[in-house]
């Protein structure tokens, strides 16, 4: 199975992880309506059956429910997995002890003694400075409760600052988790990817399927049903879906050569960027198995270039 070392740390995970925001989240994804515990448990098992053992979650997903479900599934299956979870800065969290408590809360819900990767979910930390927060996380690495430290949604300057704070503790900044897909290439133009490469920080690519757009199942004839949050997103409107049709056609064309789906080609393009780990969400076994199928094969450099050229509008 294809693996990637996280930055300059000694933590190595699969070059693709499964995202679990939708596991327990009612507000955005409608958990409990068209899918529920049975489907996400099947997604968990299908992920492991496909040889992928890396999952991304956060304490805020489903207000703890995503971590809780993962904890139950891990215990039942009894197979080692690598978990990436996230700390959510909040106004009432202002000292190092708050970080300690948050780590303890995640470990409890996950029913684990160790978290492979612990990330700061967003850069705005209210009354807790980055120094306090990152030093508290450095303490957690030294205590062995977390394997590596990551950040998320930090711009290039904020990422460099975080890297420098941790460097004083001789701890590498492992990842910056950023939105990145063929339809959201901002990190290529705003210096985040360039700086990550310079500092050897791995990018975890979130929403790598543009929340389902790159799977090809939504098109002007089949927009998402009005009840979901995506129905309010203009990218999923008839006009929005028409705009991406050429990209979806190219994904189909490239996929035919390899017997791969549009989603698998879109994820493979991200992996081809190097030191990028996509974390596609999966609500059921079929999606999990399909997304895992983006590993262990490669588009040619010419095919990667074709996709680059076709998505210049999203740079």
Ligand X SMILES: NC(=O)c1ccc[n+]([C@@H]2O[C@H](COP(=O)([O-])OP(=O)(O)OC[C@H]3O[C@@H](n4cnc5c(N)ncnc54)[C@H](OP(=O)(O)O)[C@@H]3O)[C@@H](O)[C@H]2O)c1
Is 61 in the active site?
Answer: yes
CB of 287 to ligand X, least distance (A): 4
Phi, psi at residue 108, to the nearest 5°? -65, -50
CB 80 within 8 A of CB 112: no
The residues binding ligand X (CB under 6 A) are: 19-22, 56, 121, 152-153, 177, 206-212, 215, 217, 263, 279-283, 287, 290-291
CB of 281 to ligand X, least distance (A): 3
CB of 164 to ligand X, least distance (A): 22
Q: First vs last Cα of the chain: how many Å apart?
A: 31
Q: Given the residues 61, 154, 180, 206, select the one marked as catalytic.
A: 61
Closer residue to ligand X (CB): 4 or 22: 22
CB of 170 to ligand X, least distance (A): 26
Q: Which residues of 62-74 are buried (b: 16+ CB within 10 A; e: fewer)?
A: bebbbbbbbbbbb
| Sheet bearing 18-19, strands edge to edge | 18-19, 54-56, 82-87, 115-120, 146-152, 173-179, 202-206, 276-278
Closer residue to ligand X (CB): 255 or 280: 280
CB of 10 to ligand X, least distance (A): 23
Closer residue to ligand X (CB): 53 or 215: 215
| Angle, alpha carbons 129-135-138 (nearest 5°) | 145
Closer residue to ligand X (CB): 262 or 275: 262
The position carrying tokens 């409760």 is 145
* Nearest by Cα to 183 from 132, 251, 115: 251
Closer residue to ligand X (CB): 72 or 139: 72
Task: Give the residue numbers marked as catalytic.
Answer: 61
């Amino acid at each position: 199975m294809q693996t990637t070392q996280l930055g300059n740390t000694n933590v190595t995970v699969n070059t693709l992880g499964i995202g679990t925001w939708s596991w327990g989240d009612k507000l955005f994804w409608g958990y409990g309506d068209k899918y529920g515990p049975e489907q996400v448990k099947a997604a968990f098992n299908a992920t492991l059956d496909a040889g992928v053992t890396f999952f991304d979650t956060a304490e805020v997903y489903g207000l703890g429910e995503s971590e809780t479900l993962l904890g139950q599934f891990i215990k039942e299956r009894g197979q080692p997995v690598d978990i990436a979870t996230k700390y959510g800065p909040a106004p009432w969290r202002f000292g190092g002890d708050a970080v300690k408590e948050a780590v303890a809360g995640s470990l409890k819900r996950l029913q684990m003694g160790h978290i492979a990767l612990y990330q700061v979910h967003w850069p705005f930390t209210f009354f807790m400075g980055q120094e306090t927060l990152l030093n508290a996380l450095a303490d957690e690495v030294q205590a062995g409760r977390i394997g590596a430290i990551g950040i998320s949604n930090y711009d290039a300057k904020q990422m460099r600052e975080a890297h420098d704070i941790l460097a004083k503790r001789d701890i590498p900044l492992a990842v910056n988790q950023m939105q990145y897909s063929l339809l959201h290439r901002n990190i290529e133009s705003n210096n985040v990817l360039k700086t990550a490469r310079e500092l050897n920080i791995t990018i975890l690519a979130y929403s790598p399927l543009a929340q389902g757009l790159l799977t090809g199942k939504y098109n002007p004839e089949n927009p998402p049903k009005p009840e979901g949050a995506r129905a309010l997103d203009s990218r999923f409107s008839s006009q929005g879906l028409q705009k991406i049709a050429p990209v979806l056609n190219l994904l189909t064309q490239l996929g035919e050569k390899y017997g791969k789906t549009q989603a698998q080609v879109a994820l493979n393009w991200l992996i081809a960027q190097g030191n990028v780990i996509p974390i596609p969400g999966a609500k059921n076994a079929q999606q999990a198995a399909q997304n895992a199928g983006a590993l262990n094969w490669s588009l040619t450099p010419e095919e990667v270039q074709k996709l680059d050229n076709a998505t210049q509008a999203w740079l």
